[in-house]
Amino acid sequence: MADVIEAGAARTDAPPPAGRPYRAGGSGRFTPYLFLAPYLLIFGVFGLLPVVLGVWLSLHQWDFQLPNRPFVGLDNYAELFSADSVVYADWWQAVRATAIFTVASVPLLVTVPLGLALLLNRAFPGRTFFRAVYFAPYVLGVAVIGVLWRFLLDANLGLVNRVAGVFGLPADTPWLTGMPWAWISLVGVTVWWTCGFNAVIYLAGLQDISPELYEAATMDGAGTWDKFRNVTLPGLRPVLLFVVTTTVLASANMFGQSFLITQGAPGTETRTVVWYIVQEGLRDNDAGRAAAMSVVFALLLALVSVANFRLFRYRED
């Protein structure tokens, strides 16, 4: 949740209203710094310092257990790109898993919530209730939905195969251990879990579109589809950019679902980048290597975000 909400702030950073900040009477010139001090202390130690430290770490061979932590230059980075290194195969498998999940989940997480939002967009009795119900899974953490869906997707004891059986479908699908089922499970659960979140954001965007635009379109004889294409979609463009960007980031950062639901299975095929970084950093006691992976990962994500912005900017012209 933190990732998404944090990214959300970028969108809301609207230009400040007119009027300059003022210096009130009766206070010293250090007052503003005192106001900022508590936040800046935490921000400096846990927000800024780790950025610098991460880069520095990535240039060292850093074993928590050993006193000697030599400088190794760009070796940790080179390892990720040379086929004969110990980490090469696992690293790229994790990158591939993350890419598969992102490519498969983002289109659904962008379109399904839009459908929900359109369904909820007009006033009808029970609207607030249904909105709350659709949003409810998102309130639960990944740990709860992870252990819950591990159980629901259990091939023998799970509800999913039980319900499939009732409808005359195969009741023995290996949701957690077979391919492509494991990916279908992870994407499906993530859609179920977070689509209410994107739907709420879309709803706010839909309500910002002036009703007069729809009236004008009706006067011009536009049908439902025309109105959706020519009024709704253009009106949603800023919201769409926000949703696509935050959803790509959230999907690329996926960890808990595969850690708890498929537990990486089959084999380690569903182990994601974040999982692999954490595992390398802790279990194998090589923080330098894991830090290098973090840096590469952060750069990749930044690239994707920039591409996103450009894509939408371009369409606007």
Partner 1 sequence: MPMTSALRRTARYLVLVTLALIFVAPLAWMVVTSLKDYPDAQRIPPSWLPDPVSGYGYEQILNSSANPVLRWFLNSMLAATLHALLVLVTAAMAGYALARLRFRGRKVGFALIVATLFVPPTSLIIPNFLVVDSIGWIDTLAVVVVPGAASAFGVFFLRQFFLSLPRELEEAAVLDGANQWQTFVRVVLPLSKPALATLAVLSFLTNWNDFLWPIFVLFSPEQLTLPPGLGLLQGAYVTDYPVIMAGAVLASVPVLVLFVLAQRYVIQGVSRSGLKG
Which residues within the stretch 79-138 sit at the binding site for partner 1 (CB under 8 A)?
Answer: 116, 119, 124, 126, 128, 130-137
Q: Are 297 and 273 in contact (CB under 8 A)?
A: yes
CB of residue 239 to partner 1, shortest distance in Å: 10
Distance CA(233)–CA(316), nearest Å, equals 12
* Closer CB to partner 1, 86 or 143, in the complex: 143
The Cα–Cα gap between 108 and 7 comes to 20
DSSP letter, residue 71 = B
Binding to partner 1 (CB under 8 A) within 48-77 occurs at 48-51, 53-54, 57, 64
The residue from 209, 278, 285, 308 that contacts partner 1 (CB under 8 A) is 278
- Beta-bridge partner residues of 288: none
Applying CB under 8 A, does 174 fall inside the site for partner 1?
A: no
Q: Which is nearer to partner 1, 141 or 216 (CB)?
A: 141
Least distance to partner 1 from the beta carbon of 165, Å? 6
Q: Is 36 in the site for partner 1 (CB under 8 A)?
A: yes
Residue 157 interacts with partner 1 (CB under 8 A): yes or no: yes
Q: What does the alpha-carbon distance between residue 132 and residue 196 come to, in Å, rounded to a whole number? A: 8
Nearest one of 272, 229, 281 to 252, comparing CA atoms: 272
124 SS3 class: coil
Q: Which of 165, 186, 164 is nearest to 177 (CA)?
A: 186
Q: Which of residues 202-231 bind partner 1 (CB under 8 A)?
A: 203-204
| CB 245, min distance to partner 1, A | 10
Q: How far is the CB of 27 from partner 1 (least distance, A)?
A: 4
Both structure tokens of 95: 């990158």
Distance in Å, CB of 63 to partner 1, minimum: 12
Among 72, 97, 186, 200, binds partner 1 (CB under 8 A): 200
Q: Is 172 in the site for partner 1 (CB under 8 A)?
A: no
The stretch near partner 1 (CB under 8 A) out of 83-91, 93-101, 102-110, 250-258 is 250-258
CA dihedral 272, 275, 277, 283 (to 10 degrees): -140
Choosing from 80, 100, 108, 171, the residue that interacts with partner 1 (CB under 8 A) is 171
Instruction: Give the nearest distance from C-beta 307 to partner 1 in angstroms.
Output: 13
170 CB burial (10 A radius; 0-12, 13-18, 19+): exposed
Token pair recorded at residue 98: 């993350």
Tell which one of 43, 71, 81, 92 touches partner 1 (CB under 8 A): 43
Least gap, CB of 86 to partner 1 (angstroms): 18
Question: Per CB under 8 A, which region of 77-85, 99-107, 224-232, 300-308 contacts partner 1?
Answer: 300-308
In 3D, which of 1, 288, 285 has the Cα closest to residue 143?
1
DSSP 198-249: HHHHHHHHHHTS-HHHHHHHHHTT--HHHHIIIIIHHHTHHHHHHHHHHHHH
The answer to whether 119 and 141 have CB atoms below 8 angstroms apart is no
Size of the residue set binding partner 1 (CB under 8 A): 110
